[in-house]
Amino acid sequence: MQATLITIGDEILIGQILDTNSAYIAQKLNEIGIEVHEIISVHDSEKHILDALEKAKANSDITITTGGLGPTKDDITKQTFCRFFDDTLTLNEEVLAHVEHLFANYVDTPISEMNRRQAWIPASCEALFNRFGTAPGMWFDRNGHVTISLPGVPYEMKALVENEVLPKLQKRFQRPFIYHKTILTIGLGESAIAERIEKWEDALPAHIKLAYLPNLGKVRLRLSAKGLHGNEIEEDVNRQIDTLLPLIADIFAGFEDQESLEVRIARLMCEKNLTLSLAESCTGGQLATSFTKHPGASGFFKGGLVTYATSAKTEILGVSAQTIENFSVVSKEVAQEMAVNARALFATDFAISTTGNAGPTKGDSDAEVGTVCIAMASKAGVVSAKFSFGKNRERVVGKAVNKALEWLLKEISKK
């Protein structure tokens, strides 16, 4: 069972926005056993969209397009679908009622002809209810091939996929099972891991694939299997993992399909009734964000300080000016005082601090670009270390955040 995803819109092809929709849809299709054969991004051009629809029909069972359904003139998806299916636009009364309801209740401006035009859709399609917007999804089922058109606005598209597309696809098609399991490792490079597990990798059965995904000091190992029986392929993968884990015990940091690093920390902290606070300098709020972007963070995260200016470190966090003078602001000693003081200020079990120079220039710190000191305080005391994370600002901050999460996870996993 194969699907092709087509993203319609010039903004992707000029690099103005990232295609986040395709990743989301691919993930959801995989979960119900549908593989994505190809993802294509095309311009808002009739010829180009028609070519992509033709090709998708030839190479796969399902085509899903996103984008081009807005009320403005640059959006041409509906007309192009009429051309492709030899169809005409007709007024859908149900969609019209919904559009009128949205405008009457949630929009400040009065409804216009342009808004009402959203209710005109190809006669042969089934409209999929878009509760959050005016553009309905569209479902075409012709000669065994299903073509689905969705709006490009991510939260409208996501609700349509969850509530309409997935249930309908599950009913419409018999699907095999696809199972992925991803192991997170920390502390060893991809080729060093590959050499270490070479024999194991060579002995993998043909229906299980291994992929290496390196990123900012972490390497993920993903095993993928496809088969007719869900239980069987899941067991196959887990049997392989049982023989793999002893080979990588020192670098194993969890399974990622189940939980990201920060979600795992959140769960453990809540289970063990532990609390956390932060004192961030070079990570500038990103460590706090990594926790607060997930629901339920208030269960363990009490808060943090972003002490970007040196005066904020001394005056608010109470880092001693003498320590800064003796060791410089980017030092293990300053990181330690930051963590200890944040822990006391917020009255938490753990506190983590970062201070460093993320670049691109040295600025007013003495430290080389890429130098980051991290400290972690707990009732057991305080530990700290100095790192050198390269020259790229975004990567320096990303690696510092990952390293802090890694420390914290190791520490709370022990207890």
In the bound state with a second copy, the residue whose beta carbon lies nearer, of 188 and 245, is 188
Q: Which two tokens stand for residue 12?
A: 């992707």
Distance CA 249, CA 227 (A): 29
The answer to whether 269 touches 276, Cβ cutoff 8 Å, is: yes
Minimum distance, C-beta of residue 109 to a second copy, in the bound complex (Å): 5
Distance CA 6, CA 56 (A): 8
Minimum distance, C-beta of residue 298 to a second copy, in the bound complex (Å): 6
20-59: which residues touch a second copy (CB under 8 A)?
A: 20, 22-28, 30, 35-44, 48
Residue whose tokens read 């932060």: 278
Per CB under 8 A, the list member of 74, 235, 271, 368 interacting with a second copy is: 74
Kindly state the DSSP code that residue 361 receives in the 8-state scheme.
S
Interaction of residue 104 with a second copy, rule CB under 8 A = no
The span of 76-84, 161-169, 208-216, 232-240 binding a second copy (CB under 8 A) equals: 208-216
- The pairing of beta strand 371-378 with beta strand 252-255: unpaired
Minimum distance, C-beta of residue 124 to a second copy, in the bound complex (Å): 26
- The pairing of beta strand 218-227 with beta strand 208-215: antiparallel
The answer to whether 298 touches 306, Cβ cutoff 8 Å, is: no
* Site pattern 112..151 for a second copy (x: CB under 8 A): x-xx------------------------------------
Distance CA 410, CA 396 (A): 21
Residue 83 CB partners (closer than 8 Å, separation 6+): 46, 50
229-268: which residues touch a second copy (CB under 8 A)?
A: none
Per CB under 8 A, the list member of 175, 180, 267, 332 interacting with a second copy is: 180
Which neighbouring-strand residues pair with 414?
none
The span of 121-129, 231-239, 262-270, 361-369 binding a second copy (CB under 8 A) equals: 361-369
Residue 15 CB partners (closer than 8 Å, separation 6+): none
In the bound state with a second copy, the residue whose beta carbon lies nearer, of 168 and 395, is 395
In the bound state with a second copy, the residue whose beta carbon lies nearer, of 124 and 292, is 292
In the bound state with a second copy, the residue whose beta carbon lies nearer, of 321 and 347, is 347
SS3 of residue 355 by DSSP? strand
Per CB under 8 A, the list member of 32, 82, 210, 241 interacting with a second copy is: 210
Per-residue CA distances from 144 to 57, 141, 161, 173 (Å): 10, 7, 20, 10
Q: What is the secondary structure of 240-282 as a DSSP string?
A: HHHHHGGGGTTTEEEETTT--HHHHHHHHHHHTT--EEEEEST
* Site pattern 287..326 for a second copy (x: CB under 8 A): xxx-xxx-x-xx--xxxxxxxxx-xx--xx----------
In the bound state with a second copy, the residue whose beta carbon lies nearer, of 30 and 328, is 30
* Site pattern 182..201 for a second copy (x: CB under 8 A): x-----xxxxx-xx-----x
Phi, psi (deg, nearest 5) at residue 142: -135, 125
Minimum distance, C-beta of residue 107 to a second copy, in the bound complex (Å): 7
Per CB under 8 A, the list member of 91, 104, 123, 211 interacting with a second copy is: 211
In the bound state with a second copy, the residue whose beta carbon lies nearer, of 94 and 394, is 394
In the bound state with a second copy, the residue whose beta carbon lies nearer, of 137 and 359, is 359
261-280: which residues touch a second copy (CB under 8 A)?
A: 278, 280
**Cβ neighbours of 394 (radius 10 Å):** 10
The span of 169-177, 266-274, 377-385, 393-401 binding a second copy (CB under 8 A) equals: 393-401
Interaction of residue 285 with a second copy, rule CB under 8 A = yes
Kindly state the DSSP code that residue 389 receives in the 8-state scheme.
-
Minimum distance, C-beta of residue 176 to a second copy, in the bound complex (Å): 14
Interaction of residue 77 with a second copy, rule CB under 8 A = no
Q: Which of 48, 36, 49, 42 is nearest to 9 (CA)?
A: 42
Q: Which two tokens stand for residue 304?
A: 């943090």
